[in-house]
Structure 1
Amino acid sequence: MKKFISIAIALVFLFTLMMPSNIAQAQADTKISLKQAIEIAKEKLGIGDSGYEFNSNYNEYANKKYWNLNWNSTSKGNISVTVDADTGRITSFYSWTPTQQPELKIPKYTQEEAKKVAVEFIQKVAPDLFKQTKENTSVNNYSSYYSPDYSFTFERIVNGIPFPSDSIYVSVNKSTLKVSSYYLNWNDYSFPEPKNIISKEKAIEIFKEKLGLKLMYNLVYDQVYGSEPKAILVYGIYQNAPIDAKTGKLIISDNYYEPMTGGGGGEGMSSQKLSPEEQKAVDNAEKYISKDKAIEIVKNSLPFPLGSEYKLINANLYTGYDYPPAKSDPMWSLYWNYNKDNKYYYVSATVDAATGELKSFYRGGSDLDNIQGKTPTYTKEQMKKIAEDYLKKIVPDKFNKTEYVDRNTLNSEIQPIMPSYTFKYVEIVNGILCPFNVIYVNVSPYTGEIVGYSINWTDVKLPSSENIISLDEAYKILFENAEFDLSYVPNYDYKSPDKPPTINLVYQLNFYNYIDAKTGQIIDYSGKPVVKKSETTFKDIDGNWAEKDIKLLVQIGIIDTKEENYYPEHNILQKDFIKMLVKAIQPPYYDPIPPKSSDEYSYYYDIAIQKKIIAEKEKKPDTLVTREQAAKYLVNALGAGYIADLNDIFVINFKDADKISSSSKGYIAIVSGLKIMRGSNGYFYPDLYLTRAEAAAVLVRFLEINK
C-alpha cells in the first residue's frame, strides 16, 4: 500500500510541468489561484515563511487540475503539497526533515498515539470527508521496525457501504509523531442506491453457479535449497468477479489481456581458473543445445516467417537456478528486431536449453502494437480456432490434456482494446484442474495472426483424490472465513479513458487463500496454515513484568502468536532465542541465503551461523540458554564479537566475576555497559538460565541500541 501511495504521489508531482509563462493562463482556468493555494497550504499545514526556497507548477491529470507547491531547504528539509485547483482541497502532502540521528528500531511512540495524530491531521485538512470514512485495518500498519512510519488508511463509506477506491492515507513517524505523508483520493461520482438488490444468500447461489470453488492441484515448495515442488489437492477460487447486486450478473471486463514473455541481455566470457561449482556449471552447459540450434527451433516453430531482415540483437543462455520457491530450467533467450520506413518490428523467444522445447515467443511492431482507429475483423471463435490449430501442430500431446478456460464467461463476443486477445488452456487430470500447467496463445483480432505464445508445464506426481472433504463442506469453510459483502466498485470504459467510470453496487468475495481438500484447513499459496491474527497476543502475559516488551515484539513481528500462551516464566530454548535474535537483526523480506532444510529453526540457525552469531559446534536447539551464552549471542549480533574477544581490556565489577569464564568477560562487559543485560544486587548470575520474559526484555533493549 505504501509503495502504491508513493508512486501515486510521485505521478501527481511529476506528471506535467508548466512554464511560468503559462501559469497566468492556468490562473484564468481554475477556481483556486496560485496565491490562494499557497495560503490554503500554509494555513492548514502550518508552513512557515523563513528558511525555504519556494517553487510551484501546475498540471492537469485525469480531468483534474492541480497546483504543486514545493518548499525546499538544505537545513529544514523539503515540503511538497498538492492542492486541487478547483476545490481547494489538499490532495497530497509529503514532508522530509534531515536528521543526524539514526531511525530507532523500537518505536518511541505507540500505534495508538500515532493514530490520534493521523486523525487530528485529517480532521484539520479534510474534516467533511473524514466523517464519510472508516479505517481499514486490514491494509494498515506494516509496523516492522524497519519502517520509520505507522500508516493508516480510511476508506470512503457511501450509504453505509464501502467504496475502497476512494480513501485517505496518512503516515506518521514513529519517533517524532509528525505526519510524514498524506494522500487523498476522492471523486465526485454518482452512486446507485442500495434498493431493490438481491439478497446475500442469492448472491452466494450465483457465485456457486457462475464462479465458485474448484477442486484443483496446487504446487507448493518447501523453501529448501534445491527442493522439488510438490502437488497438493485444494479447493480454490480459480476465477473471481464482482456480482452486480441489482441484476445478479457478473461484472467482467472485456479488456482481458495477458502478455507473453520475452528475453534479452548480454554475453560475457572469463579465462580465469574455475571453481568446482563453476566447472560443474560449464560441464552442464555442454549438455545444452547451441545458440544456432535454439534459433533453428524458433524459426521452425513460429507461425510466421522470421525473415533475413530481422537481426539477432541478443542471445543469452540462462543456466537455471535452485533458489526457492522455484527451480528454473536452463533457457535460451533470443531477441530480433528491424526498422524500416520509420516503423519498427521485433520478435522475442525463449527455448528450453535442455529439451529444445519452445517455451515462449512474442511478436510486435508499429503495425501490431498500434490499434488506434482499427476495427476488429476476426470473431472470438475464429481466433480461438487459429490458436488451437497452432497448438495441435506445436504441442499436440499437451494440448490434448487441456481444456479452454474462458475468463469472459458471459461474453459471446469480445470488444478488445488491446493489440491481441489471450486464449488460455489448462491441464485437466481426472476432472481436476492443474492450473500450474497452462498454455497461452495471443491472437490479433485485426489481422488474425498469432503474436504470442507461452507454455508453463511441470511434471509432478499428483496425490490421490480419495478421502477429501466435499464441495459443500468446502463452501461452509469458505463462507465462515471469507468476507462476502456489499461494496461499490468503479467500472471503467477503457475505450473512453476520459469518461468517468460507472459505479456498481456489488457482492464480492475477498479470499486469496486455499482450502486444503484433505484437512479442510485454510492454507496460503505455500501450503502453510493461515493463522488468524488475534486482537490480543497471549493469554498468560497480563500483569507480567515483561508484558509491555512481549507485546512490542509481537507488534513488530519478532515474536509469533501462533500459540495461546507465551509461558513467560519458562526458560527459553536456544532455538527460540536464536530465531528471535535473527528476526531482530534482518528484515523478514530479506533472505541472505536459501534455506537448506524445511525445518523452520534450521533456517534461522543457517543465518545465525553465517552472521557469526553462533558457531556450528554450539548449535544445540533444545538446550536452555544461560545468561552468559545470551550475552555472547547478543554481542555477536551487534557485530562487536571481535572487540569482546579482547578480554584483557575489559574490567568487570560484578561480585560474581570469578564465575564468569575468561573468554566471556568482554561480552558481559559490553552487554552490561550498553544496559542490554543488567545484573541484580551487583551480581550478573552467568550460569542462570534466561527466561522467556527476560529474553523479550533483553531483545527490546538490544533493539534500542543505535548501531
Structure 2
Amino acid sequence: MKKFFALLLSAALALSLVVPSLAAGESGADSRLTQITQAVKTTLSLDTSGYDTFYGNLSEDAIAPQWDLNWSNAAGDRLSISADPDGRVLWLSRSDNVPGSTSPSLPKIGREEAEASAKAFLDRVLDGSVESARFDPEGYSAPTYSSRYRFSGTILLNGLPSPLSFSVSIDMDSGAVVQFNRDVLNGLYVGGVPSETAAVTADDAGAKLKDLFSLRLEYVLDTDSKEAVLRYLPDAIDEYYVDAQTGEVVNLTQLLQSFYEKGMNGATAGGDADAPESAPSDSLTEAEQAGSALLAGALEQEALDQKARAVEALGLDAYALSSCRYTVDPDWEEGDDGVQVMASLTYNREKDGNLWRRYVTLDAKTGELLSVRSTLPWSKDIERTVTAEKSQALAEAFLSDFCPDDFARTALYDQTNVSLLNDGEQIPNQYSFRYARQVNGYFFANDGISVSVDTSDGSVSAFSRNFQEDITFDSPDGIVGEDAALAAYQATFAPVLGYIQVPVALDQADASLREVLQQSGYPFCYRLTLGYALEAVGETVRGIDAKTGQPVYYQAGQDGKITYDDLEGHWVASSAQVLAEYGVGWLGGSLKPDSVITQKDMVVLLYSMAYRSPEDPEKLTEKQLDSYYETAYAQGWLTPAQRQDNAALTRIDLIRMLLNGGGYGSVAALEGIYRCDFTDAASIPAADLGYAALAQGLKLVQGDTAGRLNPAQTATRAEALTMIYNFMR
C-alpha cells in the first residue's frame, strides 16, 4: 500500500512550525540527531512507522551545516530529508516501490489539487514569520515524461521577491510530495534581512533604470519566414538595480566581476579520437556497396592535409596532424545545400608543456575549408603579443583573401574579447570578431562570418560562415523613429521592489566565518539589499516592429506546448484541452477537429501519447516522419506493409492501432469468442470483432444515437483524440 505524507487540507493545521535552535547546548551527535529527527517529523506530521531502517549523516560545514536523514524498508520504499541544525527542512526525496502501469495514463488528481498539496507543504516548511512562496507560472510542468507535477518559484521575504527559490514535485496519483528543495540564507550571507520599507519611489527608480536601455535597428527573420523585416532590438546591458534607500544606480554585473579572480591555469585537452578501422569482409551487400559509393571521390588524408596547410592563415606549419575523420550525409542529394562528405582534421601543437588543438573541417571531395575551431591553453606564461588591432587586421586580411565576395557583404558587427588571464593582462588567448551581413545599410545578424585570432602567433583559431540566399528583405521605408521605439520598449517593463543579492568583501563577515570562506576559496560573500529591478510586464518582448512601433512578443506555442484556437463550442474541447496539458495532441495552433484524420496524423498523435513529445505532422521532414513510423512499427501500431501516410482512417482503424499499441492485439485477433452490443455488430468483419468488443468493454468508444459502431466510417481528428482520452483515463 502506498505511504505518503498526510498533507492537511485545513489551513489552520498547515501553518509552519518554528523550531528553536537544536545545536546549542547539545554535545552528543546522537542527541542532536534525535532532536533533529523529532523536529522534522513534527514539522511534516510524518508517520515513519512503515520504515524499518533509519540513519542520519551530519555535515559539519561551517558555511552550511546540515543533517541528512534516511528511512527505508525491505519493500524498497525510501525517504530522505535534509535539514539544517534548527530543524528546517531543506530537501526531500521520497520513492515507493510500487509497480506502475506501463500504459500511458492521465493523472488521478488535477493540477489544482496538486498545487494545493504543494502550497500546504510549503506552509509547513517555510518560516511563516518572514517567508512565503510565490509560484512561477513558467516553473510549472505537468506529468508528461514523469509521473509527477512540478512547481517552482520564489521564496518571498517580508512579502518581497528574493534570490531564494524552491521547487516541489507532487505524485500525479496520490498527491504526495515526492521531491522538494529550497535555497537558504546560509553562511555566505551577512547582515540578515533588511527592512522592507523603501525611501525611493518605484517611479523614480524605474525612470533611472529605463534610461539605461538602447535599441538597434536590424533585419530579423520570424519563425518559418523567408522575408526579413526591420525590428528595433534591445542592446545587451549589464544587470542593474536601484538602491531603495539611497536611489543609487548600481551595476551589479560590474560589481560581481570586480570580486572574481580572473582566468584559470592549465590547458584544455580532449579532441576527436582516431576513427576505428572497418572490419574486413569478404563480400558486401547492396546497401553496403551503396554506402561505400558515397565516399567515392573523397580525397585521401594526405591530400586533405595539404589543402588545409595551404591556407597559410591557419598557421598549421607549427602543428602535427593527429587524426582525420570522414562524415557522410546519407540523405544528401545533388543540388542540396551543404556537402555530402565532410573531413574533420585534428592538429596538435605542444610547446613548454602547453597544448594547442586545431580542428579543421573541409569538404572531403573538394578540399574547400568549411570551418575551424580550436582549444587554446590558458597559461599566463605564454607570450601573447598580438593586440586587438593587429588581430582584427589579420582577420580581415584572411577574409579578404579567402572569401572576398562574402566578406564584401558584411561589416564588423561584434568583437568579443574572451579568456582574460589571471594577472589581468588585457591580451586574452584569442580575439573574436563577427562580421554580419548588411542590407540597405542595416545588419542581418543571421548571416555572416565569425573569425578568431590566436594572440600567441596571429593564426586563425576559429572560422565559420553562414549565408542564406533565398531571403527577401523588406523595404526600409516608413519606419518609426528610434525615440518612439525606445518609449514603446520601455513601457514593457516595470520596476519591482525586492531583496537583491549583492556581493560584498569578506571583511564584512565575522572573523571565524571569514577564515572559513577564505580557506574554501570564496572571493566574497553576500548581503541582501532592498532595491528596485526591472521586470517584463506580461510576456517577454523580442523587440519593436520598425513599421508599426508595437512590441513583438515571443510566439506562444513554440516551446512544445499544445494550443488550439478552434475548440470553442466543440464537443471535444474538454478532452482535447486535458490531453494538451499533458503533452498529448498536435502542435500547429489549430486542432481542425472535424477534419478527416490521416494515418500520418494518427502516428504523430500516438507518439505524443507514448512520449509526450507533440509535433505538427505537416512540419515534419520526410526523414523525421520516417523515424516516427519506425517507432510505430516497434510499438505495434501498424506494420511497414500498412504504411500509407495520407490515407484516411476509419473508426475501426483507430481502434486497431490503439489496441495493438496497448498490447491487446493478440487477444483481439482471437476469433469466435467475442460478442458486442453495437446494433451493427453483424456487419463488423470477423477479423475486427475482437477489436470492437474490447473497445466497447474498455469504454474507448460508444455507439451513435442508433447504437452503431460504424466501423467503416471515416474518422475525424476529434474522434481520435476522444479515443486516446478514454484509453488514458
TM-score when scaled to structure 1?
Answer: 0.72
Give the counterpart of 1:332 among 340, 343, 349: 343
1:195 maps to 2:200: yes
Q: Is the 8 A contact 1:572 1:695 kept in 2?
A: no
Match of 2:219 in 1: 216
Q: Given the superposition, is the C-alpha separation of residues 492 and 345 from structure 1 closer, same or farther in structure 2, using an over 3 Å criterion? A: farther
Looking at structure 2, the residues matched to 120 and 260 of structure 1 have their Cα atoms a distance apart, in angstroms, of 50
Letter matched to residue 724 of structure 2: L
1:405 maps to 2:413: yes
Q: How many Å apart are 1:290 and its aligned residue?
A: 2.8
Q: How many Å apart are 1:185 and its aligned residue?
A: 1.8
Looking at structure 1, the residues matched to 28 and 442 of structure 2 have their Cα atoms a distance apart, in angstroms, of 60
Q: How many Å apart are 1:169 and its aligned residue?
A: 0.7
Q: How many Å apart are 1:646 and its aligned residue?
A: 4.0
Q: Given the superposition, is the C-alpha separation of residues 93 and 77 from structure 1 closer, same or farther in structure 2, using an over 3 Å criterion? A: same
Match of 1:424 in 2: 434
Looking at structure 2, the residues matched to 691 and 239 of structure 1 have their Cα atoms a distance apart, in angstroms, of 48
SS in structure 1 at match of 2:68: strand
Match of 1:150 in 2: 149
Looking at structure 2, the residues matched to 201 and 314 of structure 1 have their Cα atoms a distance apart, in angstroms, of 58
Q: How does 1:168-183 map to 2 (within 5 A)?
A: 168-183=166-181
Q: Given the superposition, is the C-alpha separation of residues 639 and 404 from structure 1 closer, same or farther in structure 2, using an over 3 Å criterion? A: farther
Looking at structure 2, the residues matched to 395 and 689 of structure 1 have their Cα atoms a distance apart, in angstroms, of 57
Q: How does 1:257-656 map to 2 (within 5 A)?
A: 263-264=272-273, 266-271=275-280, 279-301=289-311, 306=316, 312-320=321-329, 329=339, 330-337=341-348, 344-353=355-364, 354-364=366-376, 368-371=377-380, 381=389, 384-385=392-393, 387-388=395-396, 391-392=399-400, 395-406=403-414, 420-442=430-452, 447=456, 452-466=461-475, 470-471=479-480, 475=485, 486=496, 497-500=522-525, 505-507=532-534, 511=540, 538-540=567-569, 548-559=574-585, 573-574=597-598, 580-588=605-613, 595-596=620-621, 613=637, 615-617=642-644, 619-621=646-648, 627-641=651-665, 643-652=667-676, 654-656=678-680
Q: Provide structure 2 residue ranges, at least 5 long, that are not aligned to the other structure.
A: 1-22, 243-247, 507-520
Letter matched to residue 151 of structure 2: F
Q: How many Å apart are 1:134 and its aligned residue?
A: 1.5
Match of 1:657 in 2: 681
Q: Is the 8 A contact 1:96 1:180 kept in 2?
A: yes
Looking at structure 1, the residues matched to 493 and 606 of structure 2 have their Cα atoms a distance apart, in angstroms, of 36
Q: Is the 8 A contact 2:92 2:179 kept in 1?
A: yes
Q: Is the 8 A contact 2:219 2:444 kept in 1?
A: yes
SS in structure 1 at match of 2:128: helix
Q: Given the superposition, is the C-alpha separation of residues 566 and 589 from structure 1 closer, same or farther in structure 2, using an over 3 Å criterion? A: closer
1:226-256 Cα distance to aligned partner (Å, 9 max, x none): xxxx564463747433563536787666799
Q: How does 1:107-256 map to 2 (within 5 A)?
A: 107-128=107-128, 131-141=131-141, 143-157=142-156, 162-163=161-162, 165-187=163-185, 188=189, 193=198, 195=200, 198=204, 200=206, 203-204=209-210, 206-207=212-213, 210=214, 212=215, 214-218=217-221, 230=226, 232-233=228-229, 235=231, 237=233, 239-241=235-237, 244-246=240-242
Q: Is the 8 A contact 1:469 1:518 kept in 2?
A: yes
SS in structure 2 at match of 1:64: coil
Looking at structure 2, the residues matched to 593 and 610 of structure 1 have their Cα atoms a distance apart, in angstroms, of 22
Q: Is the 8 A contact 2:395 2:460 kept in 1?
A: no
Letter matched to residue 145 of structure 1: T
Out of 642-651 and 422-431, give the one that drifted further: 642-651
Letter matched to residue 568 of structure 2: K
Q: Given the superposition, is the C-alpha separation of residues 612 and 564 from structure 1 closer, same or farther in structure 2, using an over 3 Å criterion? A: closer
Out of 509-518 and 343-352, give the one that drifted further: 509-518
Q: Given the superposition, is the C-alpha separation of residues 418 and 382 from structure 1 closer, same or farther in structure 2, using an over 3 Å criterion? A: closer
Looking at structure 2, the residues matched to 536 and 200 of structure 1 have their Cα atoms a distance apart, in angstroms, of 37
1:332-383 Cα distance to aligned partner (Å, 9 max, x none): 223344778866554433334345215113143xxx3245x99998765565
Q: How many Å apart are 1:566 and its aligned residue?
A: 8.1
Letter matched to residue 98 of structure 2: T
Letter matched to residue 216 of structure 1: Y
Q: How many Å apart are 1:180 and its aligned residue?
A: 1.4
SS in structure 2 at match of 1:195: coil
Q: Is the 8 A contact 2:636 2:660 kept in 1?
A: yes
Q: Is the 8 A contact 1:441 1:450 kept in 2?
A: no
Instruction: Give percent identity, aligned residues only.
Output: 18
SS in structure 2 at match of 1:633: helix
SS in structure 2 at match of 1:349: strand
TM-score when scaled to structure 2?
Answer: 0.70
Looking at structure 2, the residues matched to 606 and 475 of structure 1 have their Cα atoms a distance apart, in angstroms, of 50
SS in structure 1 at match of 2:137: coil
Cα RMSD for the two superposed structures: 5.4
1:409-441 Cα distance to aligned partner (Å, 9 max, x none): 9xxx99879755543332323323332334444
Match of 2:89 in 1: 90
Q: Is the 8 A contact 1:424 1:438 kept in 2?
A: yes
Looking at structure 2, the residues matched to 684 and 83 of structure 1 have their Cα atoms a distance apart, in angstroms, of 61
Looking at structure 2, the residues matched to 651 and 678 of structure 1 have their Cα atoms a distance apart, in angstroms, of 15
SS in structure 2 at match of 1:102: coil
Q: Given the superposition, is the C-alpha separation of residues 528 and 53 from structure 1 closer, same or farther in structure 2, using an over 3 Å criterion? A: closer
Looking at structure 1, the residues matched to 130 and 285 of structure 2 have their Cα atoms a distance apart, in angstroms, of 63
Q: Provide structure 1 residue ranges, at least 5 long, that are not aligned to the other structure.
A: 1-23, 223-229
Letter matched to residue 430 of structure 1: N
Looking at structure 2, the residues matched to 478 and 565 of structure 1 have their Cα atoms a distance apart, in angstroms, of 34
Q: Given the superposition, is the C-alpha separation of residues 276 and 441 from structure 1 closer, same or farther in structure 2, using an over 3 Å criterion? A: same
Match of 1:11 in 2: none
1:634-665 Cα distance to aligned partner (Å, 9 max, x none): 22343544553443454445553212123321
Letter matched to residue 52 of structure 2: G
Looking at structure 1, the residues matched to 428 and 494 of structure 2 have their Cα atoms a distance apart, in angstroms, of 31
Match of 2:8 in 1: none
Letter matched to residue 357 of structure 1: L
Match of 2:690 in 1: 666
Looking at structure 1, the residues matched to 657 and 38 of structure 2 have their Cα atoms a distance apart, in angstroms, of 56
Q: How many Å apart are 1:390 and its aligned residue?
A: 5.2
Letter matched to residue 54 of structure 1: Y
1:100 maps to 2:99: yes
Q: How many Å apart are 1:149 and its aligned residue?
A: 0.8
Looking at structure 2, the residues matched to 78 and 698 of structure 1 have their Cα atoms a distance apart, in angstroms, of 37
Looking at structure 1, the residues matched to 37 and 475 of structure 2 have their Cα atoms a distance apart, in angstroms, of 69
Q: Given the superposition, is the C-alpha separation of residues 98 and 251 from structure 1 closer, same or farther in structure 2, using an over 3 Å criterion? A: same
Looking at structure 2, the residues matched to 619 and 535 of structure 1 have their Cα atoms a distance apart, in angstroms, of 22
Q: How many Å apart are 1:124 and its aligned residue?
A: 1.0
Q: Given the superposition, is the C-alpha separation of residues 641 and 135 from structure 1 closer, same or farther in structure 2, using an over 3 Å criterion? A: same
Looking at structure 2, the residues matched to 494 and 390 of structure 1 have their Cα atoms a distance apart, in angstroms, of 46
Letter matched to residue 581 of structure 2: Q
Match of 1:21 in 2: none
Looking at structure 1, the residues matched to 383 and 525 of structure 2 have their Cα atoms a distance apart, in angstroms, of 24
Letter matched to residue 122 of structure 1: L
Letter matched to residue 84 of structure 1: D
> What is the number of equivalent residue pairs in this alignment?
642
Looking at structure 1, the residues matched to 659 and 305 of structure 2 have their Cα atoms a distance apart, in angstroms, of 57
